[in-house]
Structure 1
């Protein structure tokens, strides 16, 4: 009994740490924040020094130090597989215990500048981080987790090593996501989508999710027009997020601390729109029992957003034009002019050029508001945004309705990506909200989706192959086609196939496909 109690007392610190790690790795926590929190917990609970996570970068074939709980030290150190203790652990997939770093002949201290005293008083433990497994297939080593630890007896070091192996197993998914994110960011930098001027000039709005190149260009335009007082015209189909972009423009302007006033010109009868915009004097019409400020006055020194401006009546168009040109308005029933300083943002889903041709929209007003047009592509033309936007809404509604929903299943993702989304972001938002409401599991599945999405059908052909053989053959064909199109770039192939980078990397190795040979396949097509 005493022996059991003694073991329990030794295990208690480890169990407490594991409980804290599980709590910090909640389903709604960003994976990078979770990993940083984990490293901090290891340092605080067990006196580990410099706990750090190293992730393998398939593009450079090096081990890159991505996260550490030592902000004073460099985080961009690279190791080569097989070189040094960290490289040996990665290549072999086996943990290594160094009782005292000073006594280890092959120990390479590339990551941190340790003092002589530290080398003499600290040991080093490094364990592999294995990627998520699939069925009975061997798990791939995707990185390492290591710590500096005070010198102690070998049994204690072995206990610490086993504990770190458990921790490494718990973070497999997060580490794999981080590996994928590293590859994605590197690809985007090479394509000019982040870094340089685009990264500096792109608006980072909390409610705008933009993974596609086209939407990042839109955000770049928003960042360009935001600091000015120029009138912006947001153009795009209904539900593409014009109001959110108007908010982003306002927040990027010097007027961000002043009011942003909004009006949907199609939501009110034409005779009421003018009274809303310009206000009225007491007695101006039946029911006008007191003076009322219009939206132009309320937006003084701020921004006025006019959605569906193509719905304005001819009379309202003339008054809006005067307000833009003269920076003054008149309330209904009053001859007194009121000066206003308003930055105008307009939006429409209509073809204003056709309205100008037909005479239903003033040409001079069109040129006044079309100073800086921003065209927002529909969701069906930026399918890279579908999944991240859906996950954003999933997190939002899971919190609102207090549901413990962790993810969207792969078949449900297929439904989302195959659908044509005539209602754009607004329709996707409603779809996810409905799915969250009806879901009583931890995963959104196809039967939680609206019936309109479940009409998507996949094609199949008869085959004499077994089911498993047919699936494997089909996977290989898809991979080869995607790699040919992407010229051997596995990250781009993953984006085209709408799967994660790590899945493509695993499948390429599973089927023995040489991705490098497709790097020049495009040039050979002309032969």
Structure 2
């Protein structure tokens, strides 16, 4: 096996070589065909038309037994036969290689042509197609040249035939290299527009399906009765094109519900654009929502597409819609009515087809009565309303969510936190959660970081949850109260771990049985509570 030198070809030298005839074969006759290939490649970027010409040239004037055009898929890191002659469809399907694998793989890996003068003398020729094993071509030579563009290997052009003259073999190597360099731009365009495009479309579809699974209603955590009603509303409205208004306190998960509606809707294949109306300065709201033309105001150095235009064909989610000024409310109303708008400084209207989902923690009815929210806009937005319950009204969902966050943040922080201690659970359940799910998420993340023994204890929770002001209890916790609470929790946890065995519990806590008994009596703790009954075990 030998490598050809770097192919910096001298056309005069090639033409001189081609004018020599051996065994009745004159390569000068191929020059008009090269001209035709060049003409087709510059006028028409159709790879199929080019390959039809090339394979015909290889099969007839060049008298090749087999010819293959192989393309390199960088994403899957595989090289496959794109078009060929002399191979059956079954043989073509078997011709798949990795870079560095076999002759073809080495050409792709090195970017250099390889010539095998005798197939039966090459250890690198793998015969992956098994064409030679079935029909035999031991005396044939194999030529494989890279198809390259800007030093990037796109594939290979390979041929096989029996040569009686080494000079003719060398000429065909140069000829195939010339053809490969001529078709490289068309091959690159084909890979970009077809293989890469198809892969990107497939990847986009895969990600959207993943998002759809992630945001489907059954994956929103919580099984309380108020949430079951929310799930039912999502299920009913998602398949429609209706405008949806989501109401609820800050932190209850309005964006998550909007996502669930979008990814289970007729607009799921389109974009999902989120915009927080309270996050923009008053003078920039119109530009952010509806866009502007270049030069329409100071600082408008380029045309900007607003959120509505970006969401065309999908869903726009306007959070905190109650924060819009009356002037911007009027512009939003116009879009809802006409499904068109003009960019700032624009002349032509921009039409959009999308779904509008809005959310707010404000009391819009009260704002309408006060004159701070347009009544006509309210009724336009309130086609279908979903009200999310605050966390304090969701009962045991607090524990379900807390367990979920423990597992999530333990994995993210590389900690082996497994559970929440009973006193800490009681605190979580009794707290009124003004920040709702968002606050609970932050509390559990902090507690996971503070935990040292794989358990979240009450003293791992933030002080705000343990004070009378925040938790709604009547008496403030003194230092003595805090120490008693910690002692109570440690005794309860140890009794649980030891199935109510007082001796083992005392040993774990570093106490004598008598000292533990006194403390249990002080806290009115009975070891019998922690004994597992046989019937319980059977249940």
Normalising by structure 1, we get a TM-score of: 0.49
